[in-house]
Structure 1
Amino acid sequence: MNGAKLLKQTEFGAFDRAAWQALAEKSLAGAAFDKALVSRTDDGMAVQPLYDRARDASLLPRVKPEARWMITQRIDDVDPSRANAQALEDVAQGATGLSLIFEGAPNAFGYGLPATPEALARVLDGIALDSTHLRIDAHPMSRACVDWLVALLTARKVDPDKLSLSFGIDPAAVFGGTGRLRMSVEALLASLPQSLAHFFGLGVPGVLLEADGRAFHNAGATEAQELGIMLAGAVSHLRMFEEARQPLIYATPHIGFALCVDQDQLLSMAKIRAMRKLWQRAQEACSIAPTPGLIHAETSWRMMTRLDPETNILRTTIACFAAAAGGADSIAILPHSIAHGLPDSFARRVARNTQLVMADESHVDFVADPAAGSGGVEALTDGLCEHAWAEFQAIEADGGLLRSLAGNRLQARIREARESRAKAYRDGERSIIGTTLYPLKSERPISTLDAERRPPSQEGVAFCEALGPLRTDETIEVRA
């Protein structure tokens, strides 16, 4: 029997939704269908128990769907020599990318490399830069770091055509994540176009500007708020390219995105896909032929727990799968012990091997955009686009992302979402495995590296803190 005939014989007929719902309600024994089987996201989107297939869906794959995502390891040790040893081990053991986290970065979580050209040179000693994706996390010295890295690449005579770089320059992420800027908003907006023209003069390849939503996610933003913030950041980058007199069509390859993925697999997949659709729509509005942007996904800091930290391995595994299946171009996993201190080699190895198993054994990258056509994921994707666009419009009405932050308007919306989520944990409406659900009678000891943790610039709504005081005010309050 040929395949087409077999498929026709085994094809399921159309289902009767009304009949299915009647049977479902009967099994609920009087419980309300909407309360028992319909859940809602933090943005208020209804998640139905059953969806029709989305037959008009389009593919939203990673930038290079024929290749796997870049397996990226965080390099955030305060000791450059120790960080160099970690980087060499990571690359030797299968990592294809390194994410350099400097002190003062919104996502340094109290640690980070010294922000000096000497530290940069030391940590990259022995690293094959022409075959390793290199990203620099957003931090107050991002623009200076470009010059440091260009000088290092020149000294090492690296072929620019073989480089894969992301410089992660995003003043809004620094402003939102630390509460500080090195100059006034007005001075920054006036100076960035000139800096951008300078970077173009250097011939720097790769992503220069990044729309980074991670600091806002970790401070408590909803998925749509994070996406709206990132879209507003990307649009502000386009304006800077325009003011620097750079054609927008040449600007888009130099703009990238960074976001968080968490234990909600389907919603995290939809978030990455929604970012691609939003960026496409923004480019169309600017009369630019849409090109996909590089998306870096990092597992959520706010979902990490201090209690029963081994369960963080499960959470980050789900988040990593969501990022890979959702089409992220590069992925970084926070080691499971990070809430206790600077992760040791074992925790780093677990984080690295989680990605390697997914890529080399599970082949999660085998299908480009496997969620395309899934009624549930497509509905979440479109819903996130709608809510994110509304957040983007609110930010634009505030005068743009930096001015919205300076006026504490964006912070107020994030704070409301954060407090609502925290209340749900305190009231028992949400649970945390290993913390509020199935807590251990006694905690096992955790090994971390010897490193002094600096006062954190932002903590996010860590799961382990969800039932107690929230320590994120520094993140979303702009200090004088």
Structure 2
Amino acid sequence: MGAGALTKEVEPTNVERQRWLALAEKALAGASFEDSLVSHTDDAIRIEPLYDRAAGAEPLVRATPRSPWIVSQRIDDPDIGRARAQALDDVAQGATGLSLVFEGAPNAFGYGLPRTAEALETVLDGVPLNRVQIRIDAHPWSRAVADWLVAFLGKRRSDPAKLNLSFGIDPAAIFAGTGRLRMSIEALQASMPQSLAHFFSLGVPGVLLEADGRVFHNAGATEAQELGTMLASAVSYLRMFENARQPLVYAAPHIGFALSVDQDQFLSTAKLRALRRLWARIQETCSIPASTANIHAETSFRMMTAADPEINILRTAIAGFAAAAGGADSISILPHTIAHGLPAPFARRVARNAQLIMANESHIDHVADPTYGSGAVEALTLGLCEAAWEEFQRIEAEGGVLVSLQQGHIQARVKAASERRAEAYRSGERTIIGTTLYPLKSETPVETLAAERRPPFTEGVAVCEALFPVRIDQSIGAAP
């Protein structure tokens, strides 16, 4: 199937647009229309200065559009006592979800809960599981943590079928983010369906397998590269179950997605919408009954800056809004001081309350798919669908996501995109407020929690070049 199958014919240009274009040409007084008014995304998607309303568009909404998204707070403190206190405080102060980030996770950024059943049980002790989503962030021992969580629920006499759980099992993200798999690709593909079969029998209405694009985004991927890799990961799960002669209809509803959103509001919103459309297309192609994509959005780590960190509050607020407008099912906002170390309570509180204001004061969730029909956002959505589908097909031609990673194809494209972006910042074509433009004359001390950074995961049988998270300010030499 080609990318064109995801698009519809473009409406003919109307008279009003032609009149506007004539006036614009006159106002430019000989300057280039293309250079002055047209821009492009990192995927070379054209951004026009003016769009007509999109004709024939369809709304793209999350699974529960009548309910607010889940306000998910990261629990990533290596100190179990502090982590438990953070979890209880977050829930008491409005969080409706907890993302448990264990050491070794690609998105732990050097910290994370200890990798023990005791840590999981301690952190969740006292948490009202019947009204709080529990999400396990993808990491090398996700399968073991899933067993620990089920055992803990048994002790609590909690029925998993009545809870909102996400187990975060994602071999592709682990392989990419750590450069290691604990078994060969062939062994993984052969064993995973049987290994997970009993989880399906539990009837848990949540995410078991996750296609996590944050690893690729934070290493420098474009939006289409992130989406294409996520699609390839999700399809690899379907293929594993198909090869094991297990019905795809049971696996598909348990596949979820995690992606990054950044300060480019419209592009981030379009990215979420494109993912919903692409996943629907995959299910249609595989003759699977349609199930709405479950999407977790986390604000970008690579956009965070060490200089003038308070500006990060604005960046994450815009990114969080973009995620909500794009229909994310759950959202995590990174604390604004994360570039300096493990965030302290104040930074965590600001991150949490930003979402609460969006939901409870701005009422963003009262409108399902607010950008539906917008010519600009619909065009970006379709453009991302086309570019992401091309990346997905490229990965499939390379043997699938795990083989492509093992051979370094995905890494090469991500690194090339990262370098092009860094050069745009170094040349002044792009700017970072507070870092490359309008920097502070002097910085104030930043409060963080005392915590020792954890070493990266180095165990494994299958090996590839790792894609580690790199902030943009670091990539251009503007931060340590």
Same fold, TM-score > 0.5, yes or no = yes
Separation in structure 2 between the aligned mates of residue 62 and residue 200 of structure 1, nearest angstrom:
23
Flag the 1:240–1:77 CA change in 2: closer, same or farther, 3 A: same
Tell me the TM-score normalized by structure 2. 0.93
**Cα drift, residue 400 of structure 1:** 0.5
Q: Is 2:104 the partner of 1:95?
A: no
Could you tell me whether the CA contact under 8 Å between 1:359 and 1:365 is conserved in 2?
yes
Read off the aligned partner of 2:473 and give its amino acid letter: C
- The Cα of 1:311 is off from its aligned counterpart by 0.4
Q: Does 1:449 align with 2:444?
A: no
User: Does the 8 Å CA contact 1:371/1:377 hold for their aligned counterparts?
Assistant: yes
What letter matches 2:234 in structure 1? Answer: A
- The aligned residue for residue 167 of structure 1 is 167
- How do 1:63-462 and structure 2 match up within 5 A? 63-455=63-455, 459-462=468-471
Report how many aligned residue pairs link the two structures: 458
Q: CA deviation at 1:28?
A: 2.2
Shift of 1:452: 1.1
Once the 2 structures are TM-superposed, how far is the Cα of residue 243 of structure 1 from its aligned partner? 3.4
By how many angstroms is 1:470 displaced? 10
Retained in 1: the 8 A contact 2:168–2:210? yes
Give 1:244 deviation, angstroms: 4.0
Do residues 463 (structure 1) and 463 (structure 2) align? no
Deviations 1:111-134 (A, max 9, x none): 000111010001111101111001
C-alpha separation in 1, matches of 2:22 and 2:445: 51
Deviations 1:191-235 (A, max 9, x none): 112212233345444110000000000001000000000001111
In structure 2, do the counterparts of structure 1 residues 365 and 211 end up closer, same or farther at CA, with 3 Å as the change threshold? Answer: same
Structure 1 residue 19: Cα displacement: 1.7
CA distance in 2, matches of 1:286, 1:66: 29
What stretches of structure 1 of length at least 5 have no aligned partner? 1-13, 472-480
What is the one-letter code of the residue matched to 1:429?
E
Question: Over residues 15-64 of structure 1, what are the superposed CA-to-partner deviations in whole Å (9 max), with x where a residue is unaligned?
Answer: 62222112112222332111111110000011000011112011101110
Q: Is the 8 A contact 1:109 1:456 kept in 2?
A: no
8 Å Cα contact 1:130/1:159 also seen in 2: no
Q: State the distance in 2 between where 1:197 and 1:132 align.
A: 25
Contact 1:209 1:254 in 2 (8 A): yes
Distance 2:211 2:79 in 1: 28
Amino acid at match of 2:472: F
1:406 CA drift (Å): 0.3
Give ranges in structure 2 of 5+ residues lacking alignment. 1-13, 458-466
User: What amino acid maps onto 2:156 in structure 1?
Assistant: R
Q: Decide whether aligned partners of structure 1 residues 455 and 116 sit closer, same or farther in structure 2, where only a CA change above 3 A counts.
A: closer
Does structure 1 conserve the Cα–Cα contact (< 8 Å) formed by 2:215 and 2:468? Answer: no
- TM-score using structure 1 length: 0.93
State the match for 1:11 in structure 2.
none
What is the Cα-based RMSD across aligned positions, in Å? 1.5
The Cα of 1:188 is off from its aligned counterpart by: 1.3
- Residues 79-129 of structure 1, C-alpha deviation per residue, up to 9 Å, x if partnerless? 111100000000000000000000000000000001110100011111011
Q: Distance in 1 between matches of 2:406 and 2:477?
A: 28
| Amino acid across the alignment from 2:19 | A
**Counterpart of 1:149 in structure 2: which amino acid?**
L
Distance 1:314 1:455 in 2: 31
Shift of 1:257: 0.3
Q: Is the 8 A contact 1:252 1:293 kept in 2?
A: no
Letter in 2 for 1:51: Y
Greater shift in the superposed pair: 460-469 or 208-217: 460-469
Deviations 1:376-414 (A, max 9, x none): 000000000000000000100011000000000111111
Distance in structure 2 (CA, Å) of the matches to 1:23 and 1:384: 30
Distance 2:248 2:478 in 1: 45
Task: Give 1:455 deviation, angstroms.
Answer: 4.6
**Which letter maps to 2:348?**
R
Deviation at 1:463, TM superposition (A): 2.7
- Paired with 1:463 and 1:310, the residues of 2 have a C-alpha distance of 17
- Residue 4 (structure 2) aligns with: none
> Would you say the 8 A contact 2:161–2:204 is kept in 1?
no
> 1:82, 1:169 → 2: CA distance?
26
Q: CA deviation at 1:459?
A: 4.8
Mapped contact 1:303–1:461 kept (Cα < 8 A): no
